[in-house]
Amino acid sequence: MPYTAPTGTKDILPEEWPFWRCLEQNIQRITALYGFAPIDVPIFESTALFTRGVGEGSDLLVQKEMYSFQDKGGEELTLRPEFTAGIMRAYVEHGMHTQPAPLRLYAVGPIFRQEKPQAGRYRIHHQFNVEALGEEDPAIDVEVMSIAWDLYDALGFQGLSFMINSTGCRICRPNFVQALRDYFTPMAAELGETDRIRLARNPLRLLDSKDPDMELRLARAPVIHDYLCASCRDHFAALRQYLDLLGRPYSINPRLVRGLDYYVKTVFEVWAQGIGAQAAVCGGGRYDGLIEELGGPAVPGVGFGSGIERIILAMKAQGVSVPALPAPLVMLAYRGAAAKLEAIRLLQMLRQAGIGALLPYRDSLKAQLKQADRAQARFALILGDDELAAGSITVRDLTGSQQVSVPRSEIIGWLRSAGEAAPTPAQSVAAVS
């Protein structure tokens, strides 16, 4: 095999598309219910946007995982490693703070991270990303979280719950970070290399250590909730109250800090069972201060990113069924050169009338009808010398074996009413696991 897809990337083959389409449709439906408008931003941006916006201390993302390059004009560019920084850049660039707040935006598209590939972790993944800008009220945090919840619910996920935490704010968090530094510094020599770097650069990330030796140390480490200021405490209490009110299941994880530096107050994740170690299907939180850092006004924000590949992995693991993509309603079949010409003319006429139609590329009628079956067409429209002479067409219902003769001038109307009366097999729900 001369070429294969690059490490950590994958093709999305036609058989995967019913899942993607089902997700896209639910995303469009649910974001519309919540009043979120679509936005898209460039796939690459200035590297500086991410080194500033995502945070120099962000766990590995900025240091190692970005696909950065210099273009032929000498510009330093980076394939987007997340949506948030680009959307904030667009918000500032287009003066969107003058629009009524909260501004509700969502985006769907590819994200690039040079990670170590494994099941559920890719170098190109796709995110459904949601941002609400200009509101501090924790009720909007819950609205944002509810979008993810409603999506997973509509897709038929079972047994999901939010993991939530407050990571404090610029006022109270430094005290907590100092407490962590004071606690871990005397044991610095015992820490693994990654954790030693974290201690030096961003002690908060120690809470996310994967080193099994850290378990005991972390169990005795200072806890963020003892350091929250009154404003962060109240915000977190109200968040929980609203989640309780809506009956959204959640657990509080005081060690949940997330990998990006910009979060303050609310952070949350949703984990799915049965898809291996990379089980976070959604992660997000509040990032008041980020827009200011990018040179914009002091506008608060909250949002999340949800990995589409991981959602699909979880759907498959849970045996969720999705509707198949609609198949063309008819396949034309013909015998002889004159009938082929008429079939080609008819093919265009049907498509122009909004009726899905296929032309078989086989000579024998038998092989053509086999193709019609494979294509899951509902009807075969058969043209031979007799039909040509009579101005008719033979319609065979491929779900049974009935055949009728219909005047060719009436075929569009006939197919419209027949198609409405009974959907093609491919339009019904297919159990795909």
Q: Does 122 bind ligand HAM (CB under 6 A)?
A: yes
Residue 284 touching ligand HAM (CB under 6 A): yes
Residue 304 contacts ligand HAM per CB under 6 A: yes
* Residue 195 interacts with ligand HAM (CB under 6 A): yes or no: no
Site for ligand HAM, residues 124 to 163, rule: CB under 6 A: 125, 127, 129, 131
Minimum distance between the CB of residue 310 and ligand HAM, rounded to whole angstroms? 5
Stretch that binds ligand HAM, among 283-291, 340-348, 356-364, 388-396 (CB under 6 A): 283-291
Interaction between residue 307 and ligand HAM (CB under 6 A) = yes
Binding flag, residue 281, ligand HAM (CB under 6 A): yes
- Residue 120 beta carbon to ligand HAM: minimum distance, rounded to whole angstroms: 6
3-state secondary structure the chain: CCCCCCCCCCCCCHHHHHHHHHHHHHHHHHHHHCCCEECCCCCEEEHHHHHHHCCCCCCCHHHHHCCEEECCCCCEEEECCCCHHHHHHHHHHCCHHHCCCCEEEEEEEEEECCCCCECCECCEEEEEEEEEECCCCHHHHHHHHHHHHHHHHHHCCCCCCEEEEECCCCCCHHHHHHHHHHHHHHHHHHCCHHHHHHHHHCHHHHHHCCCCCHHHHHHCCCCHHHCCCHHHHHHHHHHHHHHHHCCCCEEECCCCCCCCCCCEEEEEEEECCCCCCCCEEEEEEECCCHHHHCCCCCCCEEEEEEEHHHHHHHHHHCCCCEECCCCCCEEEEECCHHHHHHHHHHHHHHHHCCCCEECCCCCCHHHHHHHHHHCCCCEEEEECHHHHHHCEEEEEECCCCCEEEEEHHHHHHHHHHHHHHCCCHHHCEECCC
Nearer Cβ to ligand HAM (107/199): 107
Minimum CB distance to ligand HAM, residue 259 (Å): 6
Q: Which of 80, 89, 104, 113 binds ligand HAM (CB under 6 A)?
A: 113
Q: Which region, judged by CB under 6 A, interacts with ligand HAM, from 123-131, 134-142, 198-206, 340-348? A: 123-131
Minimum Å gap between C-beta 38 and ligand HAM is: 15
Choices 113-121, 159-167, 332-340, 382-390; region in contact with ligand HAM by CB under 6 A: 113-121
Check binding of 20 to ligand HAM (CB under 6 A). Answer: no
Output the smallest distance, CB 335 to ligand HAM, in A. Answer: 52
202 is an interface residue for ligand HAM by CB under 6 A: no
Give the interface with ligand HAM as residue ranges (CB under 6 A).
82-84, 113, 115, 120-122, 125, 127, 129, 131, 259-260, 280-285, 287, 303-307, 309-310
